[in-house]
């Protein structure tokens, strides 16, 4: 493994995996305990529209994804809360619209079509150094927000109605949490791609939930597990010569299945 580090693309890939793990471990805990896996999956898929937008505008695709996925997250949250449309219906509709927009935007882009496979299923071996800076900034934003609003997010995750009764601005907090999920999705796109994002948002957090009943401990554990899965999956993909994103997801999935079976027999 150490020999691999002489390659710059490998060093970047490892750094990207570790950076993504921080945000993913922390935000994944909220996704799992607040049971908002479906909306997170919706945000991740809709984010594909942002990649198309980035190509169409001729900017760095990840920069197109940030506003687009935040927009998708806010639309799903607001439509689900304030209109008569049920939230899961809104998610389903926006999920597909986001992806469709991505395809149309890319079709409208002059020149030949870019390689979409990397955005759909991850391209961690092709992370440029500029992306690492963007990932660092987004991580910082996520960590600062979660530290500042730790109690508030805990309250709306555990019992949103009670939090409202205590005078918390629960809807705004929920929408902010969705925006943090959107940022995390952007961080994870390079690692596993929009389609596989949901695995890394759920598996490490769901596993860590078995070992603790404190949200903060769960976050720390989940970050560690996420780092383990992404780097371990990356290494496995290298020695087995398989697609990195898919290997990371399958590695996490196996770990989850094995622990589930082990815990069932205890």
Distance between CA 110 and CA 129 in Å, rounded? 26
Closest separation in Å from C-beta 105 to another protein: 39
Task: Copy the structure tokens of residue 208.
Answer: 């860590």
Q: Which is nearer to another protein, 60 or 152 (CB)?
A: 152
Of the candidates 51, 72, 24, 58, the one whose C-alpha atom is nearest the C-alpha of residue 185 is 24
Closest separation in Å from C-beta 40 to another protein: 17
Closest separation in Å from C-beta 147 to another protein: 10
Closest separation in Å from C-beta 252 to another protein: 20
Task: Copy the structure tokens of residue 77.
Answer: 């949250």
Burial class, 6, CB count within 10 angstroms (exposed 0-12 / middle 13-18 / buried 19+): exposed
Q: Which is nearer to another protein, 126 or 168 (CB)?
A: 168
Closest separation in Å from C-beta 33 to another protein: 6
Closest separation in Å from C-beta 85 to another protein: 14
Q: Which is nearer to another protein, 117 or 158 (CB)?
A: 158
Distance between CA 237 and CA 252 in Å, rounded? 13
**Which SS3 state, helix, strand or coil, does residue 35 take?**
coil
Q: Which is nearer to another protein, 9 or 162 (CB)?
A: 162
Where are the alpha helices (H) located in 58-169, listed in sequence order? 61-82, 87-108, 117-121, 129-148, 150-158, 160-165
Contacts to another protein by CB under 8 A:
33, 35, 148-149, 151-152, 154-155, 157-159, 161-168, 209, 212-215, 218
Supply the DSSP string of 26-52, one letter for each residue: HHHHHHHHTT-HHHHHHHHHHTHHHHH
Q: Torsion over CA of 190, 25, 245 and 34, rounded to 10 degrees?
A: -100
Task: Copy the structure tokens of residue 235.
Answer: 């290494």
Query: Contact, 174 vs 55, CB < 8 A?
Result: no
Q: Which is nearer to another protein, 62 or 205 (CB)?
A: 205
Q: Which is nearer to another protein, 62 or 155 (CB)?
A: 155
- What letter would DSSP give residue 124? G
Closest separation in Å from C-beta 39 to another protein: 17
Q: Which is nearer to another protein, 76 or 218 (CB)?
A: 218
Distance between CA 164 and CA 57 in Å, rounded? 41
Distance between CA 69 and CA 79 in Å, rounded? 15
């Amino acid at each position: 493994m150490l020999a691999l580090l002489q390659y710059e693309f490998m060093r970047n890939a490892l750094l990207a995996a570790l950076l993504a793990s921080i945000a993913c471990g922390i935000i994944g805990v909220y996704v799992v305990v607040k049971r908002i896996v479906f909306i997170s999956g919706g945000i991740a898929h809709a984010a594909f529209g942002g990649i198309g937008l980035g190509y169409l505008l001729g900017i760095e695709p990840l920069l197109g994804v940030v506003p687009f996925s935040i927009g998708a997250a806010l639309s799903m949250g607001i439509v689900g809360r304030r209109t008569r449309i049920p939230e899961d219906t809104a998610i389903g509709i926006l999920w597909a619209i986001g992806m469709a927009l991505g395809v149309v935007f890319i079709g409208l882009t002059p020149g030949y079509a870019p390689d979409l496979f990397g955005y759909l299923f991850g391209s961690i071996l092709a992370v440029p150094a500029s992306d690492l800076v963007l990932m660092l900034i987004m991580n910082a934003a996520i960590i600062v927000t979660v530290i500042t609003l730790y109690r508030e997010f805990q309250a709306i995750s555990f019992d949103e109605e009670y939090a409202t009764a205590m005078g918390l601005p629960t809807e705004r907090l929920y929408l902010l949490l969705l925006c943090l999920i959107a940022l995390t999705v952007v961080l994870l796109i390079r690692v596993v791609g929009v389609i596989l994002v949901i695995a890394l948002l759920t598996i490490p957090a769901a596993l860590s939930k078995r070992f603790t009943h404190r949200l903060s401990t769960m976050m720390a554990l989940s970050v560690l597990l996420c780092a383990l899965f992404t780097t371990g999956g990356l290494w496995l993909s290298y020695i087995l010569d398989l697609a990195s994103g898919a290997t990371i997801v399958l590695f996490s999935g196996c770990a989850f299945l094995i622990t589930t079976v082990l815990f069932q027999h205890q």
